[in-house]
Amino acid sequence: MTVFRNVLLIVFSVFLMSCDNGIDYVIHGGGDDTDTEIIYIITEPDVDVWVDSFIQVGAYEDIDILWVIDGSCSMNAHQTNLLNGIDHMMNNLPSDVNWRLKMITAGDGARITQPTTFPLTRGDTITEALNMYNLLPYDGGETGFAAVQHYVAFDAYAATWMRYDAAILVVFVSDEREQSTITVPQFSVWYGSQRPATYLAFIGNVYAADSICPYTPNSNMTGAKYIEAVNNFGGNVIDICEEDWAAGVGEATQKVKPIEEYELEHIPYEDTLVVFEDGLPMEKALWHYDGSNNTVYFDVTPLEDALVEMAYSVKYYQLSP
């Protein structure tokens, strides 16, 4: 029979079934009740099973970071969050990675950055970061895809510092839609071919149904193209009106190093918590759970590109803010 171990990549129904030694955690696949496998024995009756997951990122000694900042007048309303985000980003960049960071605007021409300012590197402070931001030229462009393509492929100064054997992270920050003629598939194919590892993040106007802004984002200002592209690369999308937007910037920059800890979505019964790496249970000696902050810590870091899943029966649900 077909054995299903991966509880996320295939749509399953999960249910609890009584038996002599407690409750079995059973996976049903493809509508065929014979294709099942018992994954774990759960000792708590009448509880729901929850699975948190992530794809492990690679460990890179070198990474180039581009922060693409919308320089139009409408961004003035988000200036406080932007400055807080720059501060948090600088405080959260990993000390064990050789990173270089450059800010550019979202225009489609040559004037998208101060042309000869060397990127920020390890050891630089928030003061240097704010100086770089303040040196950005005025640019009302809304073409983030074109700005990245132009800078990476054609800017003469970029060629002096960008390392084409390094990973790359691009963070788009804009309160409007991407307005270049470049389609999402075109940008995704091009960007994915640039480096051995490519990461994207977007901070901006999300869809109205997901927005917490005090206004309803006009559909013409929703970053639909940015969101689609970021989703293609498994990146982070952050609402520009989030109070913890600065933390979201920090989360995006964590893409540059492997995940070594993970806060669970809900509160588990600890004795039911099981961690899987690519569908196989990880030995308990390789990870531990800290109930004080509801976090799983990996004593041995999961492998690059591994699907890591944390399955547990829910003791308490934590509601999203």
Here the CATH number for the domain that contains residue 203 is 3.40.50.410
Per residue in 297-320, is it b (16+ CB within 10 Å) or e — as a string?
A: ebeeebeeebbbbbbbbbeeeeee
Please state whether the predicted TM-score (pTM) of the whole model is above 0.75: no
With respect to residue 6, please indicate whether it lies within any of the assigned structural domains: no
In the chain, at which residue ranges do the beta strands (DSSP E only) sit? 12-19, 22-29, 32-42, 49-55, 62-69, 98-105, 120-121, 167-174, 198-204, 236-239, 261-263, 267-268, 274-277, 280-281, 287-290, 295-298, 307-316
Residue at which a domain ends, from 233, 256, 279: 256
Per-residue model confidence as pLDDT tens digits over 66-101 = 999 988 888 888 888 888 888 888 888 877 788 999
Q: How many angstroms separate the CA atoms of 244 and 261, rounded?
A: 20
Measure the CA dihedral 232/236/242/243, to 10°. -170
Claim to verify: residue 242 and residue 275 sit in the same structural domain:
no
With respect to residue 233, please indicate whether it lies within any of the assigned structural domains: yes
Q: How far is CA 145 from the centre of its chain?
A: 18
Compute the residue count for the chain: 321
Claim to verify: residue 291 and residue 206 sit in the same structural domain:
no
With respect to residue 3, please indicate whether it lies within any of the assigned structural domains: no
Our count of domains for the chain comes to: 2
Claim to verify: residue 40 and residue 83 sit in the same structural domain:
no
∠ Cα 157 158 162 (to 5°): 135
Q: How would you write the pLDDT of the chain (321 residues) with one tens digit per residue?
A: 333 333 332 223 333 333 333 334 433 333 344 443 434 444 445 668 899 999 998 777 889 999 999 888 888 888 888 888 888 888 888 777 889 999 999 987 666 777 777 899 988 999 999 999 998 888 888 899 999 999 999 888 999 999 988 989 999 999 999 999 999 999 999 999 999 889 899 999 998 888 888 888 777 889 999 999 999 998 889 898 887 777 777 767 777 788 999 999 999 999 999 999 999 999 999 999 999 999 999 999 999 889 999 999 999 898 755
Claim to verify: residue 244 and residue 152 sit in the same structural domain:
yes
Residue at which a domain ends, from 256, 272, 288: 256
Q: How far is CA 264 from the centre of its chain?
A: 16
Claim to verify: residue 140 and residue 66 sit in the same structural domain:
yes
Residue at which a domain ends, from 256, 271, 286: 256
Claim to verify: residue 89 and residue 168 sit in the same structural domain:
yes
Claim to verify: residue 41 and residue 163 sit in the same structural domain:
no
Phi, psi angles (nearest 5°) of residue 194: -80, -30
Q: How far is CA 9 from the centre of its chain?
A: 18
Claim to verify: residue 110 and residue 241 sit in the same structural domain:
yes
With respect to residue 321, please indicate whether it lies within any of the assigned structural domains: no
With respect to residue 200, please indicate whether it lies within any of the assigned structural domains: yes
Residue 245 CB-half CA count within 13 A:
25
Domain of 40, in residue numbers? 12-56+259-316
Claim to verify: residue 110 and residue 217 sit in the same structural domain:
yes
